[in-house]
Amino acid sequence: MVIGLDTTYLGNEIPGLNGKKVRIFAVLRGGLRPDADPDSNDYYADTDEKLARLGGVTAEDRIDAAPVNWNGNTSFVHVDPRAIDLECFAHLKKPRGE
């Protein structure tokens, strides 16, 4: 399960979020690619079924996520971190030198 998962943001692209919990709402397929098409039907994967059909999460994706508040609710503000900047997808990051 990816959609609805809580994980930790490990990046530095979004100021003040490093080390904080976020909840995943969707995967923005190919969101890091210069030719990404936000209007494509396959761009916004907001169910695990759709994500599985598209091949899962890749290092080229961004994630639609929201910070998790102290009470377990999410912020109304959403962010779009790189998938590789989330703890649950850090394994997608290529080792240095490749």
Q: What is the pLDDT of residue 96?
A: 58
- Cα separation, 2 vs 39, whole angstroms: 22
Q: Is the pLDDT of residue 98 over 60?
A: no
- Cα separation, 80 vs 65, whole angstroms: 6
- Cα separation, 41 vs 8, whole angstroms: 28
Mean pLDDT of 47-69: 97
Mean pLDDT of 33-49: 95
Q: Is the pLDDT of residue 97 over 70?
A: no
Q: Mean pLDDT in the chain? A: 94
